[in-house]
Structure 1
Amino acid sequence: MTSKTEPMTDDEIHHEIFDAIVEGRLSPGEKLGQDDLGKVFGVSKTRIRPILHRLADQKIVVIEPMRGAFVARPSVEEARTVNAARQIIEEGVIRAATRLAQPRHIRMLRDIVAEEQSARDRRNGARAHRLTGEFHCELARITGNDVVSEMVRELVSRDSLVVALYQRPASSGCSLGGHADLIDKIAAGDENAAAHAMRHHLQDVMDSLDLGGDRRKSQALATAFAHLERPD
């Protein structure tokens, strides 16, 4: 890793915290202290505050008066409604993607699946989890509709917290086989089959959850951002 001599930009800090949340390095319910984050990134807490509000707008952080900011902790009902929303929106996404996809898009989707497989082979669960979400975000980008892409990105991010809390230990949530099947349906130009496969795929994600309780333990901020070089 190369040493970073200049303080990180606000966008870079946002990106790091966002990734730590969606990759599961920061657990749902984890406190995000402004002073602690400022020390992690080598900046003042006044720069951290608007970044946390930006993450709150994305529904993956909650800010509680007099208590501070925390990684969002979705309820069982939210777990169900987020998945239902994904099924509604992503059925439309994959229909549009099937109509619009070019060979380069198919190659890109297959590359993501290959990277995810490699991450799982290396037991890099955080990387694999991130790529799982990226696959669905990339499908949305194929539509060329920025509003749809933003909606899918938010839902995928919120769903990542659901998975972090409720996924059964033996389950991997989004399956590589499911992603490969979606790509095959898109490549074949079969819009109805692609839509059916997407509904089935997202229902499988829902079925992989144990909504009787969460399984995640809290992690320290220092552990979540251990990969960062500390500014001098």
Structure 2
Amino acid sequence: MTATTEPMTDDEIHREIFDAIVGGRLAPGEKLGQDELGKVFGVSKTRIRPILHRLSDQKIVVMEPMRGAFVARPSVEDARAVNAARQIIEEGVIRAATRVAQPQHLKMLREIVAEEQRAREGRNGGRAHRLTGEFHCELARITGNDVVSEVVRELVSRDSLVVALYQRPSSSGCSLGGHADLVDKIEAGDEDAAAHAMRHHLQDVMETLDLGEEGRKSQALAKAFAHLGDKS
């Protein structure tokens, strides 16, 4: 493909690779060659390396000595463990958020839900996945606890890859109705109801997964980022 006329920023490149992974355009186990990615984005491989390390910190890319970077391949056990961890942590998160949430926080959450709806209607799976994660990360930020926010962001990133690998084709992961209901529970100030809704929301996500299938057919890097050719 033809590189874009102006080099992309590191954040833009990170977002494109992240979206390609969680959107299923890059399969788990896919090799992420620095030279090839550099050509795709029209930058040097020295720009690509720290971006891959950043994705590795998010647990969705694995860096292997002497072999390079690969899209992480979570096991079925990983999928279950990550969801269980999210249930434990995010029930506490939403309780804390319910206690301190202000009108501007509720407005932000509803805006994210609306943006996610538009992304799904526009069949922009990568953006929809990212907004789904952002909703949960925003809940954590509302608590004001930076450590909690960091933990939730890592779990959400790992779960995004799980969903990309195991989600049934007819499913869409986190439901918009579930997100809207969570905001309603926070607005009502009912901690118990909010925690109950969060637990069932995350359990519903597990129900969208087919944990009997592992692996997907790999796609070439150039094909995964083919849409960038439209910016040339």
5 Å-filtered alignment, 1:108-187, equals: 108-187=108-187
Query: Which residue does 1:202 correspond to in 2?
Result: 202
Letter in 2 for 1:178: G
Aligned to 1:228, the other structure's residue is in SS state helix
Indicate if the aligned counterparts of 2:62 and 2:71 stay in contact, CA closer than 8 A: yes
Aligned residues: 230
**Residue 224 of structure 1: CA displacement?**
2.8
| Residues 61-70 or 91-100, more deviating | 61-70
**Residue 78 of structure 1: CA displacement?**
0.3
Letter in 2 for 1:157: S
Counterpart Cα distance in 2 of 1:18 and 1:174: 18
Deviations 1:115-137 (A, max 9, x none): 22222222222222221111111
**Residue 157 of structure 1: CA displacement?**
0.9
Aligned to 1:218, the other structure's residue is in SS state coil
Give the direction of change, closer, same or farther, for the CA distance of 1:116–1:15 in structure 2 (3 Å limit): closer
TM-score (norm 1): 0.90
| Residues 151-160 or 141-150, more deviating | 141-150
Query: Which residue does 2:89 correspond to in 1?
Result: 89
Indicate if the aligned counterparts of 1:7 and 1:231 stay in contact, CA closer than 8 A: no
Query: Which residue does 1:226 correspond to in 2?
Result: 226
Query: Which residue does 1:38 correspond to in 2?
Result: 38
**Residue 4 of structure 1: CA displacement?**
6.6
Indicate if the aligned counterparts of 2:165 and 2:215 stay in contact, CA closer than 8 A: yes
**Residue 190 of structure 1: CA displacement?**
0.3
| Residues 195-204 or 125-134, more deviating | 125-134
| Cα RMSD after superposing both structures | 2.2
Query: Which residue does 2:25 correspond to in 1?
Result: 25
Indicate if the aligned counterparts of 2:98 and 2:187 stay in contact, CA closer than 8 A: yes
TM-score (norm 2): 0.90
Give the direction of change, closer, same or farther, for the CA distance of 1:21–1:214 in structure 2 (3 Å limit): same
Percent of aligned pairs with the same amino acid: 85
**Residue 175 of structure 1: CA displacement?**
0.8
Letter in 1 for 2:202: L
